[in-house]
Amino acid sequence: MGEIVFWTLVRIAISIPIIWILKSYIDFQLWLILATFLLYGVIIHPAIVGYRKFEERNKGITDNTLCSNCKHFDASAILCVKYDEHPTNNFIPCEGLDWEPQL
């Protein structure tokens, strides 16, 4: 998830100066439309696609592992908060010994 946020911030840092420079070369009404499409196409859409891929890639972990039912599991980051490690389909950080049910 941090990778999605990082690259979104990088794209914002690159896009905003480009949009600002285009403002002096293009009529304001056209610039506003172009800026809207550019922000969506370069920043928002890739972030949405990246988040969907993240969910797809980790669906098996959130649905089929012992960690997904533990109170120490953070589903938004696919992280065992107690051990600060990412569980996978083949790896459970505590090996099931510190598992506690969610309340």
Q: What is the per-residue DSSP string for 24-44?
A: TTS-HHHHHHHHHHHHIIIII
Q: Which residues contact 22 (CB under 8 A, 6 or more apart)?
A: 31, 34, 35
Cβ-proximal residues to 34 (8 Å cutoff; 6+ apart), any chain: 22, 26
CB atoms within 10 A of CB 73: 23
Q: Is the dihedral of CA 90, 87, 103, 100 positive or negative?
A: positive
Range of 75's domain? 65-103
Q: Are residues 52 and 70 in the same domain?
A: no
pLDDT of residue 64: 84
- Per-residue pLDDT, 75: 86
What pLDDT, on the 0 to 100 scale, is given for residue 98? 87
Query: Are residues 87 and 47 part of one domain?
Result: no
Q: What pLDDT digit, counting tens, does each position of 56-74 carry?
A: 988 988 888 888 889 999 8
User: How many Cα atoms are found within 13 Å in the side-chain-facing hemisphere of 41?
Assistant: 7
Task: Give me the residues of the chain with pLDDT under 50, please.
Answer: none
In this structure, are 54 and 76 located in the same domain? no
pLDDT at 68: 85
Q: Nearest CA to 23 among 35, 13, 14? A: 35
State how far the Cα of 55 lies from the Cα of 67, in Å rounded to an integer.
16
Q: Domain total for the chain? A: 2
